[in-house]
């Protein structure tokens, strides 16, 4: 009986650890998919994360300042279809950082992902209230 119990505990712990590792390194990291060596991670008000790769040096500087200050701002761009967890990314050439925005252009990463055709169809700059939680430079 003891051997069966010990074996069950070992198998259960192994399955849980494998599940956490798969989630952490495969599924969750897909949200942070990027194509360049200069990218940042945004974390929205719900804790969801997405990678952004601004092409503008001015926007990059602002993101670095937000990271240092841990300030929350409206960060957005036009949306484009992308092969990550969310199905979209913020278009790198148009990333904007603002203190205020039009209410109809405000969303969360999850809201955008759940109704991507609607948000993309607006053809506006769509913003999320977020912090820059990571900065990656070459």
At residue 31, the pLDDT reads 86
- The pLDDT profile of the chain, 138 residues, written as one tens digit per residue, is 677 767 666 766 666 755 554 554 455 568 899 999 999 999 999 999 999 999 999 999 999 999 999 999 999 999 999 999 999 999 999 999 999 999 999 999 999 999 999 999 999 999 999 999 999 998
Answer yes or no: is 20 within a domain: no
Q: Is 79 exposed, middle or buried (0-12, 13-18, 19+ CB in 10 A)?
A: buried
Answer yes or no: is 25 within a domain: no
Answer yes or no: is 72 within a domain: yes
| Count of alpha carbons within 13 angstroms of residue 66, beta-carbon side | 26
Answer yes or no: is 13 within a domain: no
At residue 29, the pLDDT reads 62
Helical spans, DSSP H, in the chain: 2-22, 57-69, 109-114, 116-121
At residue 83, the pLDDT reads 94
Answer yes or no: is 39 within a domain: yes
- For residue 111, what are the domain limits? 33-136
Answer yes or no: is 51 within a domain: yes
Answer yes or no: is 95 within a domain: yes
At residue 63, the pLDDT reads 97
Number of domains in the chain: 1
In this structure, are strands 39-44 and 126-136 parallel, antiparallel, or unpaired?
A: antiparallel
At residue 125, the pLDDT reads 97
- Cβ(66)–Cβ(129) below 8 Å: no
Please tell me the distance from the alpha carbon of residue 108 to that of residue 115, in angstroms, as a whole number: 11
């Amino acid at each position: 009986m003891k051997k069966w119990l010990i074996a069950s505990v070992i198998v259960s712990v192994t399955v849980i650890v494998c599940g956490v590792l798969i989630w952490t390194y495969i599924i969750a990291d897909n949200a942070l998919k990027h194509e360049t060596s200069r990218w940042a991670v945004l974390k929205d008000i719900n804790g969801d994360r997405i990678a952004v790769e601004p092409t503008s040096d001015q926007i990059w500087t602002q993101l670095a300042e937000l990271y240092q200050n841990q300030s929350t701002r409206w960060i957005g761009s036009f949306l484009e279809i992308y092969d990550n967890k969310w199905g979209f990314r913020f278009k790198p050439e148009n990333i904007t950082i603002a203190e205020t925005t039009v209410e109809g252009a405000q969303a969360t990463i999850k809201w955008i992902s759940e109704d991507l055709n609607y948000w993309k169809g607006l053809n506006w700059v769509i913003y999320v209230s977020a912090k820059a939680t990571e900065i990656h430079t070459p």
